[in-house]
């Protein structure tokens, strides 16, 4: 009888027990570093945010987001690092200094109608193409519309047309 299969299993258990748990993975909970809800939405603080392969400067930069205000979802925390999920589905780690609590939105539909009131019978302010982003001002918990601001216009977008707010979530100014 050989003991070779037992040794790798033992070493694997030992290594897993010694590795820090960075809180990877989405799910309702409280962040280990901030005691804030995880997941939650925040936005990028500047036009140059390095997204790393892991929670530390020693990890390589996988890509750089060049879009201040882009909403991202925090799905994990480790010390001063936040694991994010971006509107395009990409995930990675950013330093806490590169994000801010100010909420943003990102249009995910081909074209979203910006209304002057929170209903589809209201006047049309503008049509926003996929990828347009701006500031998320407020959403009622049970509302199908959120008040938003772009660089040029303010109004209401259907919650289903944007990324940056959870279903049933209330966002207050």
Beta bridge partners of 105: 134
Tokens linked to 144: 């199908």
pLDDT tens digits along 41-69: 999 999 999 999 999 999 999 999 999 99
Residue 36 burial (CB count, 10 A): 12
Q: Structural domain of residue 138, as residue ranges?
A: 105-163
Report CA-CA distances (Å) from 137 to 23, 84, 147, 163: 29, 21, 5, 14
Q: Is 21 exposed, middle or buried (0-12, 13-18, 19+ CB in 10 A)?
A: exposed
Q: How far apart are CA 171 and CA 108, in angstroms?
A: 19
Together in a domain, 114 and 93: no
pLDDT tens digits along 91-123: 999 999 999 999 999 999 999 999 999 999 999
DSSP assignment letter at 60:
P
Domain boundary among 69, 101, 133: 101
Q: pTM for the full model?
A: 0.81
Nearest to 43 by CA among 76, 64, 65, 59: 65
Phi-psi region of 89 (alpha: psi -120 to 50; beta: other; left: phi over 0): left
Domain boundary among 75, 101, 127: 101
Spatial contact of 79 and 86, defined as CB atoms under 8 Å apart: no
Q: How far apart are CA 140 and CA 147, in angstroms?
A: 9
In a domain, 39, yes or no: yes
Q: pLDDT averaged over the chain?
A: 87
In a domain, 10, yes or no: no
Spatial contact of 117 and 123, defined as CB atoms under 8 Å apart: yes
Q: What is the pLDDT of residue 27?
A: 53
Q: If you average pLDDT over residues 146-172, what whole number do you get? A: 96
In a domain, 49, yes or no: yes
In a domain, 6, yes or no: no
pLDDT tens digits along 118-149: 999 999 999 999 999 999 999 999 899 999 99
Residue of higher predicted confidence among 28 and 106: 106
Task: Transcribe 141-159 into DSSP letters.
Answer: TT-SEEEEE-SS-EEEEEG
Q: What band does 173 get if pLDDT is binned at 50, 70 and 90? A: confident
Together in a domain, 54 and 27: yes
Together in a domain, 66 and 124: no
Examine the pLDDT at 23 and tell me if it is beyond 50. no
**Number of domains forming the structure of the chain:** 2
- CATH of residue 86: 2.30.30.40
Examine the pLDDT at 157 and tell me if it is beyond 70. yes
DSSP assignment letter at 56:
S
């Amino acid at each position: 009888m050989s003991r070779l299969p037992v040794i790798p299993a033992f070493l694997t258990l030992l290594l897993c027990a010694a590795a820090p748990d960075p809180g990877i993975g989405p799910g309702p909970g409280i962040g280990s570093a901030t005691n804030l809800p995880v997941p939650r939405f925040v936005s990028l603080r500047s036009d140059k945010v390095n997204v790393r392969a892991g929670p530390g400067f020693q990890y390589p930069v996988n890509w750089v987001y060049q879009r201040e205000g882009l909403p991202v979802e925090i799905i994990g925390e480790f010390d001063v690092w936040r694991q994010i999920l971006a509107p395009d589905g990409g995930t990675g780690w950013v330093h806490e200094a590169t994000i801010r609590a100010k909420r943003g939105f990102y249009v995910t539909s081909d074209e979203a109608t910006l209304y002057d009131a929170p209903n589809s019978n209201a006047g049309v302010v503008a049509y926003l193409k996929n990828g347009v982003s701006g500031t998320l001002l407020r959403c009622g918990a049970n509302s199908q519309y959120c008040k938003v601001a772009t660089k040029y216009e303010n109004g209401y977008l259907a919650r289903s047309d944007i990324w940056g707010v959870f279903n049933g979530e209330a966002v207050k100014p």
